[in-house]
């Protein structure tokens, strides 16, 4: 009786703890061989000296941007991407033409760290930290003209464009800050069941029930209405033919109703860059935080560097020293499912351009993890914004230094040659009226009983013609309510450590 073939896993990503992967995966694939290839992060081709016989024996591969041909790896069954997005494999013959090879994303591994990035950059803007850091570098103490020059987050509204695992963690953090949450998905989710998320996430995180949004939007006809009511827009959608260029001049005009802050951790090409630069410089939006750009890497002389009120980071929002452990949980479950002949987690749907989830009720990646359940249909797709950090959009070469790059914040006055000066107030933020008492809520509101934080009736409008300005927000910028979510307040302690500007933790360069 012939012995079953032992798995050979090729690691085409630096910083992966090889021995830990080998030890854990051996429990579900006895005798597995785990081999690092030794490539660099931004390589797009296999090393010239790679062992051809090793490639032929490979049954699995962990990679971000490097893939063999079918002829080079005839035994390959499973490709685990290190990214939550997957546009780097679109058009790849190994992906397009070989259904027997399972491609899976790392969706569910990036939510905690990306949510921290989203709110650390948003709050840095709201509290003018980049301006104060500039003052610190030259030893200048700059006082604002007023103690009411800062708008805190309580009562503001965050809109999550793509309510996948990253978006759901962003919603949880937003609620912890006392914000209202609106969700946008490509497809309608009218029932509590359709709003559930069965993807892997750490316990106590995310929004598995879809309970946090007070209102849901979907489809092209509702984009402008969704945008018009926001103070913070978080873009977490994947890049597909339907989402490319989704946010342009017309959408920025819609956001001007409340001068939303735009946070993009999805893909740079979802936003039309020239329109973004114009919106920033014209003050249609209060600012932007960008971990992804189009083009990427952003050229040294690109005008986006010098746009007003922008914070740019080099596609690092998904970096975390816990990333490998979360990824290993997914891979362990997938090797177990391959052994048992079951569908894999996070397998990419070629028609959708992102993954669907499949898991049985008894499935468990680890005692710490929550796992996806088997769906009625594998066509029940999920809008993932998890593309967050490291996907296909990244360049093939390492980022250039940006000594001449510049970050500007609203209200930053030119510094005269003196050590002390008054800071002029920045652009006027919407007035916020806070009731005398808090509304105490011990647990998130169920999906069928949304918490509405803004007064005024909901208004449905037809999609305005392309040559007309979108309607103003149906919600007045003033008369906001304040909410204290007691059960969520402890999440603040988990989400604010990214305020620390330096860290002794090694810097990882995993891409989402």
Task: List the catalytic residues.
Answer: 267, 296, 315
Assigned token pair, 192? 């509590």
Per the DSSP assignment, residues forming a β-bridge with 422 are 143
Q: What is d(CA 407, CA 198) in angstroms, rounded to the nearest whole number?
A: 39
3-state secondary structure of 8: strand
Question: Encoding tokens for residue 57?
Answer: 């024996």
Q: How many helices (H) and strands (E) does the chain have?
A: 11, 18
Kindly give the pairing relationship between strand 261-264 and strand 232-235.
parallel
Name every residue whose Cβ is closer than 8 Å to that of residue 182 and which is 6 or more positions away in sequence. 157, 158, 159, 160, 213, 214, 215, 216, 217, 226, 229, 230
Residue 209, CB-side half-sphere exposure with 13 Å CA sphere: 12
Q: Which two tokens stand for residue 376?
A: 């009625």
- Chain-centroid distance of CA 401 in Å reads 24
**CB under 8 Å to 498, separation ≥6 — which residues?**
116, 117, 120
For residues 207, 265, 252 and 148, what is the CA-based torsion angle, rounded to 10 degrees?
Answer: 80
- 3-class secondary-structure state, position 33: strand
Return the beta strands (E) in 417-470 as ranges.
Answer: 420-423, 439-441
Burial call 265-291: b when 16+ CB within 10 Å, e when fewer: bbbbbbbbbebbbbbbeeebbbbbbbb
Q: List, as one string, the DSSP characters of 167-200.
A: HHHHHHHHHHTT-EEEEEESS---STTTT---S-
In whole angstroms, give the CA distance from residue 389 to residue 266. 7
Q: How many CB atoms lie within 10 A of CB 11?
A: 23
- Integer angstrom CA distances of residue 395 from 41, 43, 44, 95, 479: 10, 9, 9, 21, 45
CA 390-330-206 angle, 5° bins: 70
CA 275-280-281 angle, 5° bins? 100
């Amino acid at each position: 009786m012939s012995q079953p073939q032992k798995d050979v896993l090729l690691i085409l990503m630096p910083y992966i703890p090889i021995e830990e992967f080998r030890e854990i995966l051996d429990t579900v694939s006895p005798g597995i061989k785990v081999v690092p290839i030794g490539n660099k992060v931004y390589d797009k081709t296999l090393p010239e000296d790679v062992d051809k016989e090793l490639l032929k024996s490979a049954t699995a591969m962990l990679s971000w941007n490097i893939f063999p041909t079918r002829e080079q790896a005839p035994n390959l069954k499973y490709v685990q991407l290190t990214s939550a997005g997957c546009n780097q494999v679109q058009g790849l013959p190994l992906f397009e033409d070989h259904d027997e090879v399972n491609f899976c994303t790392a969706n569910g591994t990036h939510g905690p760290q990306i949510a921290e990035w989203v709110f650390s950059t948003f709050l840095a803007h709201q509290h003018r930290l980049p301006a104060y850091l500039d003052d610190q570098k030259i030893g200048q103490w700059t006082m604002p003209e007023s103690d009411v020059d800062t708008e805190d987050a309580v009562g503001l509204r965050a809109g999550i464009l793509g309510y996948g695992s990253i978006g759901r963690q962003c919603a949880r953090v937003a609620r912890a800050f006392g914000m209202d949450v609106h969700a946008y998905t490509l497809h309608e989710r009218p029932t509590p069941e359709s709003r559930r998320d069965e993807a892997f996430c750490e316990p106590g995180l995310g929004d598995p029930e879809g309970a946090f949004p007070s209102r849901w939007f979907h489809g092209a006809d509702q984009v402008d209405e969704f945008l018009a009511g926001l103070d913070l827009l978080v873009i977490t959608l994947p890049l597909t033919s339907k989402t490319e260029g989704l946010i342009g001049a017309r959408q920025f005009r819609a956001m001007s109703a409340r001068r939303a802050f735009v946070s993009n951790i999805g893909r740079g090409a979802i936003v039309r860059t020239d329109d973004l630069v114009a919106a920033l410089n014209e003050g249609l939006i209060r600012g932007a935080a960008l971990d992804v750009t189009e083009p990427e890497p952003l050229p040294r002389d690109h005008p986006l560097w010098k746009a007003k009120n922008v914070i740019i980071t080099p596609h690092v929002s998904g970096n975390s020293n816990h990333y490998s452990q979360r990824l290993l949980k997914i891979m362990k479950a997938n090797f177990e499912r391959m052994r048992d002949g079951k569908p894999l987690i996070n397998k990419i749907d070629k028609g959708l351009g992102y993954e669907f989830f499949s898991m049985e009720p008894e499935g468990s990646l680890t005692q710490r993890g929550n796992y996806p359940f088997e769906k009625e249909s594998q066509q029940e797709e999920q809008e993932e914004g998890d593309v967050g950090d490291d996907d296909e959009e990244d360049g093939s070469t390492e980022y250039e230094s940006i000594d001449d790059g510049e970050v500007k914040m609203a209200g930053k006055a030119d510094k005269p040659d003196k050590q002390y000066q008054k800071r002029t107030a920045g652009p006027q933020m919407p007035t916020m009226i806070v009731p005398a008492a808090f509304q105490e809520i011990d647990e998130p509101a169920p999906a069928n009983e949304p918490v509405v934080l803004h007064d005024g009736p909901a208004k449905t409008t037809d999609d305005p013609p392309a040559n007309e300005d979108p309607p103003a927000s149906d919600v007045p910028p003033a008369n906001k309510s304040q909410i204290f979510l007691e059960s969520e307040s402890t999440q603040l302690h988990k989400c604010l450590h990214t305020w620390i500007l330096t860290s002794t933790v090694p810097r990882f360069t995993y891409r989402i």
